């Protein structure tokens, strides 16, 4: 079974082709970072228009890359949510229309399930059950995954997501958009002992997160040390990153203890953070568990993860009808099969 997938949930246009026997055959990705940089964040209308321009050329490029034609494709998968409604409608409309024209089934894919299953694209995929830490610009969630299609939300951010907190704090430090990765790079030269930021909500029971207070603490620290020299910027970046990473590690360990699971999956854009990977690996080694990550190119939004998720659902004889619907807000728990 060969699946062509389209991902257009936000500011990256991804198209991929996945074969259940041969694996990933093509992976095309276009980022809109430069388009939105002047505005300091994603402009939804501009994002939608750019997806319209880029999706069809990327589909053609993916077919060329794989050496396939339309007649070789067995199904179409597309991201139906969550995400920006205009952006989602572009991918859904193109995906559903192609499936109709090619007389093959189409499947709606949940964006976060795509991230959750991204480590399955690797040579050493995790076995079920496991805990999934999904960390991106829009989501910070701990999910209990008992088996494929059975997802239980254990905790989530009640305000800013981890990636959002990274980007907002980077902006406070005067770093260009998107600033999360730039903040992490700056933190590498920071002094970990100069500032100590709070680890929010780790002193109380539960698995929910809150990062808005951490961002405010960073803002106050920045204000108190004006004008900022480069070393102070680096020291603040280090303190912020250490606090956010420690919080994610503490909550992940708590989720593992509550469930008794020994496998942890981390996915989403923030899963590319080197410090987070190092600390989670250290924590899992101490408790005798194992942590799984997607490769760096599959941490951010991409078509490959949507293709894999689509293949799984189409193999289970699931498909979308002819209507074109998207869901900007779509709880992952609503996917549960039984």
Binding-site residues from annotation for substrate: 134-138, 167, 180, 273
In the beta sheet, which residues pair with residue 31?
Answer: 12
Residues in binding site for Fe cation = 111, 115, 301
Sequence ranges of the binding site: 111, 115, 134-138, 167, 180, 273, 301
> Which candidate, 179, 250, 190, places its Cα nearest to that of 221?
190
Q: Report how far residue 106's alpha carbon sits from residue 98's, in angstroms, rounded to the nearest whole number.
A: 9
- Token readout for 138 is 């829009």
Rounded to whole angstroms, the Cα distance separating 162 from 137 reads 6
What is the residue whose two structure tokens read 């496991």?
130
Q: Are strands 130-135 and 290-292 parallel, antiparallel or unpaired?
A: unpaired
Contact 8, 91 (CB under 8 A): yes
Contact of 91 with 223, CB cutoff 8 Å: no
Spell out a b/e string for 20-32, using b for 16 or more CB atoms within 10 Å of the CB, else e: eeeebbbbbbbeb
Dihedrals phi, psi of 14, to nearest 5 degrees: -120, 135
Alpha-carbon gap, residue 246 to 4, rounded angstroms:
38
Cα(309)–Cα(107) distance, rounded to whole angstroms?
A: 9
Nearest to 292 by CA among 163, 116, 139: 116
């Amino acid at each position: 079974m060969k699946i062509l997938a389209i991902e257009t949930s936000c500011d990256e246009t991804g198209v991929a082709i996945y074969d259940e026997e041969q694996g990933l055959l093509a992976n095309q990705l276009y980022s809109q970072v430069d388009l939105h940089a002047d505005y300091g964040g994603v402009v939804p209308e501009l994002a939608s228009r750019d997806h319209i321009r880029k999706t069809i050329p990327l589909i053609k490029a993916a077919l060329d890359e794989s050496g396939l034609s339309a007649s070789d494709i067995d199904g179409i998968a597309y991201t139906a949510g969550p995400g920006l409604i205009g952006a989602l409608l572009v991918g859904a409309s193109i995906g559903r229309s192609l499936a109709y024209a090619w007389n093959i089934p189409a499947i709606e894919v949940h964006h976060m399930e795509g991230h959750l299953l991204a480590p399955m694209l690797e040579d050493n995929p995790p076995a079920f059950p496991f805990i999934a830490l999904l960390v991106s610009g829009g989501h910070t969630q701990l999910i209990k995954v008992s088996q494929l299609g059975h997802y239980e939300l254990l905790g989530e951010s009640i305000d800013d997501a981890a990636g959002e907190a990274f980007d907002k704090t980077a902006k406070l430090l005067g770093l260009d958009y998107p600033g999360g990765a730039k903040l992490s790079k700056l933190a590498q030269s920071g002094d970990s002992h100069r500032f100590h930021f709070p680890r929010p909500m780790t002193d109380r029971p539960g698995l929910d997160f809150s990062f808005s207070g951490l961002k405010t603490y960073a803002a106050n620290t920045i204000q108190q040390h004006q004008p900022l020299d480069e070393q102070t910027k680096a020291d603040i970046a280090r303190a912020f990153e250490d606090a956010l990473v420690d919080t994610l590690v503490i909550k992940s360990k708590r989720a593992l203890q509550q469930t008794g699971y020994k496998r942890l999956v981390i996915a989403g854009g923030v899963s590319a953070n080197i410090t987070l990977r190092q600390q989670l690996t250290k924590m899992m080694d101490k408790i005798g568990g194992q942590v799984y990550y997607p490769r760096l190119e599959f941490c951010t939004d991409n078509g490959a993860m949507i293709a894999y998720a689509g293949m799984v659902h189409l193999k289970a004889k699931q498909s979308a009808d002819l209507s074109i619907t998207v869901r900007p807000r779509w709880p992952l728990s609503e996917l549960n099969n039984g």
